[in-house]
Amino acid sequence: MRRSFMPFLALVLVLHFYIGIRLLPAMGLGVLGVAVGVLLLIVSALLVPLGLGAPGMRWRRRWAEPLTWAALIAMGYFSSLLVLTFLRDLLLLGMKLFNAMTPLLVHDSAVAVPLAALAVTLVGFVNARRVARVVKVDVPIANLPPSLEGYKIAQISDIHVGPTIKRAYLNAIVNRVNALKADSIAITGDLVDGSVRRLAPHTEPLRRLAARDGVFFVTGNHEYYSGAEEWIVELRRLGLTVLMNEHVVRKRSGAALMIAGVADYTAHNFNPAHRSDPHAAAAGAGDEVQVRILLAHQPRSAEAAAQAGYHLQLSGHTHGGQFFPWNLFVPLQQPFVAGLNRVRDMWVYISRGTGYWGPPKRFGAPSEITLLRLVPA
């Protein structure tokens, strides 16, 4: 085990100890019950780190998949269990300050925490594993040419094909997207969590995506964790147009619409030649273009995109927080969490993601396939 991993493992063990010491004695389980509880916490403490390392697992095939599932579900359950344990302690502290603490409250709240965490995990699992629903969004564009009114873009993002998202899951997404009959399809990054060698059979359904003006892809940060250069080649082989700080122009009855794309906001940390540049992506478009659309994985690209004169930016990355309390931390890194937002004269739409990352769990942040329609402002 790498030395750099030891501090994280120690932290996980400490947090599990905190949960155990705060809940088990108060639950009145008896010696046997406490022993079982301790054993379950130890198993969880060992599984959680495995969940974080799931995309890079190299174990024998017959053990890798079930252990991956167990580790990622344990990670999701642990997250809710930790948060609810902490919130219970805050509740008990408040009750103690107001002299309202009772033995019954201590016992019942200790029992309620793991049950509530289990309920959230089960509901979150169902939400994560179902095929994402279609979210329809009208985007008002000033001076929109009549021939571009109603132009439809289907956006999918953050699918994370990898440890628990495989071919069948992606195939269902492709079927639903194709049924929308969009003018163009945009995939705004974080498509994969793993190498081309391991995941190529599972991304093959992308070949079936079809739209009149094309299927476009931009890299997300997870592509760079997974070998971005190889994935760019593979996705082009599947028929996708990968936009690396470049654009295409599509025309409707004399009106011109530009779809541009940039590499991930952090791409230069992995490959300096991939530095994200919204200005470069629009270079040479000309004055004939009346509508300018940018595909950029992270919302953080919005400021530069607005300066470059785009009308609409499509992004992902945030997952809408995926499940509580991570939605509270998204604003620390990104200007927006989800939905349609404004940066000066430009709209920014942030998808909550079409798949999920890590634990198969979505709670309070449903996955989505977005159908955006351009309408006059």
Residue 22: per-residue pLDDT: 97
The reported pLDDT for the residue numbered 7 is 81
Task: Name residues whose C-beta falls within 8 Å of residue 95's C-beta, 6 or more positions apart in sequence.
Answer: 101, 105
Residues 76 and 223 in one domain: no
pLDDT value of residue 4: 59
Dihedral angle at the C-alpha atoms of 75, 81, 87, 88, nearest 10 degrees?
Answer: -170
| Complete edge-to-edge strand list for the sheet that includes strand 215-217 | 133-141, 368-376, 152-156, 184-187, 215-217, 241-242
242 with 125, same domain: the answer is no
- Do 266 and 322 reside in the same domain of the chain? yes
Asked whether residue 167 falls in the same domain as residue 271, the answer is yes
Residue 91 CB coordination number (10 Å): 13
C-alpha dihedral, 198 to 202 to 206 to 208, nearest 10°? 130
Rounded to two decimals, the pTM is 0.92
pLDDT in tens, 75-116: 999 999 999 999 999 999 999 999 989 999 999 999 999 999
Residue 283, pLDDT score: 94
**pLDDT (tens digit, 9 = 90+) per residue, 133-192?**
999 999 999 999 999 999 999 999 999 999 999 999 999 999 999 999 999 999 999 999
Indicate whether 161 and 223 sit together in one domain. yes
Single residue among 109, 129, 149 that ends a domain in this structure:
129
Distance separating alpha carbons of residues 209 and 192, to the nearest angstrom: 17
Question: Strands 241-242 and 215-217, how do they pair?
Answer: parallel
Pair (168, 310) in one structural domain: yes
Instruction: From residue 65, give the alpha-carbon distance in Å to each of 50, 210, 219.
Output: 12, 32, 27
β-bridge mates for residue 294, sequence order:
260, 313
At residue 75, φ and ψ (nearest 5 deg) are -60, -45
Distance, CA of 176 to CA of 212 (rounded, Å): 16
State the pLDDT at residue 48: 87
What's the structural domain count of the chain?
Answer: 2
Last residue of a domain, one of 129, 159, 186: 129
367 burial (CB, 10 Å; 0-12 / 13-18 / 19+) is buried
**Whether residues 141 and 15 fall in one domain:** no
Residues of the chain below pLDDT 50: 1, 59
212/260 same-domain check: yes
* Phi, then psi, of 160 in degrees rounded to 5: 60, 50
CATH code, domain carrying 230: 3.60.21.10
In this structure, the answer to whether residues 193 and 290 fall within a common structural domain is yes
Residues 110 and 255 reside in one and the same domain? no
Are 91 and 156 in the same domain? Answer: no
d(CA 161, CA 106): 43
Residue 315 β-bridge partners: 350
Let me know whether 157 and 289 are in one domain: yes
Only one residue has tokens 């006059």, namely: 376
Tokens of 189: 């990054």
Range(s) of the domain holding residue 276:
133-376
Reading the block at residue 105, the tokens are 């409250």
Question: Would you state the pLDDT for residue 286?
Answer: 82
Q: Residue 260: which of 283, 291, 289, 281 has the closest Cα?
A: 281
Q: Which of 78, 108, 129 is the last residue of a domain?
A: 129
Q: What is the 3-state secondary structure (H, E, C) of the chain?
A: CCHHHHHHHHHHHHHHHHHHHHHCHHHCCHHHHHHHHHHHHHHHHHHHHHHHCHHHCCCCHHHHHHHHHHHHHHHHHHHHHHHHHHHHHHHHHHHHHCCCCCHHHHHHHHHHHHHHHHHHHHHHHHHHHCCCEEEEEEEEECCCCHHHCCCEEEEECCCCECCCCCHHHHHHHHHHHHHCCCCEEEECCCCECCCHHHHHHHHHHHHHCCCCCCEEECCCHHHHHCCHHHHHHHHHHCCCEECCCEEEEEEECCEEEEEEECCCCCHHHCCHHHCCCHHHHHCCCCCCEEEEEEECCCHHHHHHHHHCCCCEEEECCCHHHCECCHHHCHHHCCCCCCEEEEECCEEEEECCCCCCCCCCCCECCCCEEEEEEEEEC
